[in-house]
Amino acid sequence: MTPTGAAPLVEVDGIARTFDVSAPWLERMLERKPRLLLRAVDDVSFTIARGETLGLVGESGCGKSTVARMLVGLYAPTRGKVRFDGHDLSQLRGPRNAAQRRRMQMIFQDPYASLNPRWKVSEIVAEPIRVHRLVEGRDAIRARVGELLRHVGLAEADAAKFPHQFSGGQRQRISIARALASKPEFLVCDEPTSALDVSVQAQVLNLMRELQRQDGLTYLFISHNLAVVHHVSDRVGVMYLGRIVELAPKRTLFAAPRHPYTRMLLDAIPDIAMTGRARTPVAGEVPNPLAPPGGCAFHPRCPWVHERCRREQPGLKANDGGGLAACHAVEENRIDTRPASARPSSATP
């Protein structure tokens, strides 16, 4: 169930995705190499309520985009289930599957690569309308395309142009118009502003918030930019090496993060108000995902590591802050979980 107690629109239950990255069979036989399996996502679960924005953050390669692609059907989960409005998407076939998929769309990271350069904007935005047969007749489709372009802050005359005639921010607006063309209820936004200038990022984010309010949209918002996630999200999930290590309401997570990895991400943000506060540095690099460490995947970099962390993988457990954290040190009260402002200073500012 969602934090509000209502039935969630999106339910992700223990999904995982494994990729076979082995060398070709003949090469493996001749050189006696083993198969190599990459666990990009491993046992990820969460829910998203109607009208809510769930932010998903983490370093590059942690599995955020793979989760996004599994939700919209671009990848099939190796195990686990994705339910949308109570329906298991893996069990739907034919028209029922198309009807459910129409209700969820994706906005991709790179607006320069996600639009067909050979198509005019009118064709790009009209494609979902034609595929799902939402509007019949050339004039009606043209009118709907013009309406969608105005809805995202573009001019109706822009329909006659090609993608290369627009700036990056304008191209992302075209991508949003295309996503809205099928009248979806749920949008998966895979770092939709990371390729844009800072000023343009703000414009696109404000547009997305306005569209959410007007159209009642639900978002999964993926980003590595914590400032962006703080601006748009209601709850935040933190991923590390294919697993969610912390999931909490936005205010709770930013004010009093539990997991050491979450603290590392927040401590990396320049903040003059935190001058003099004690910050525990986290060293090291992300482990090789082809050979992840045993126990807690974060233990080689964790300042609070104990022997249990090396042996036993922690599960997500509820805490008194209203969130979930997968950390033995949090569970055993070895970490000061007070807000940063309440912790002792290491020096006088």
pLDDT digits (tens, 9 = 90+) for 182-227: 999 999 999 988 878 888 888 889 999 999 999 999 999 999 888 8
Say what the pLDDT of residue 93 is: 84
Mean pLDDT, residues 315-334 taken together: 90
Phi-psi region of 269 (alpha: psi -120 to 50; beta: other; left: phi over 0): beta
Instruction: Check: CB of residue 349 under 8 Å from CB of residue 278.
Output: no
Tens of pLDDT, residue by residue over 125-141, are 999 999 999 999 999 99
Could you confirm whether domain 1-90+186-233 is CATH 2.130.10.10? no
End-to-end Cα distance, the chain: 44
Over the Cα atoms of the chain, what is R_g?
A: 22
Write down the mean pLDDT value for the chain: 88
Q: Where are the domains of the chain?
A: 1-90+186-233, 110-183, 256-349
Phi-psi region of 123 (alpha: psi -120 to 50; beta: other; left: phi over 0): alpha
Strand pairing class (104-107; 37-48): unpaired
310 falls in which pLDDT band (50, 70, 90)?
Answer: very high
3-state helix, strand, coil in the chain (%, to 5): 35, 20, 45
Q: Position 285: which residue type?
A: E
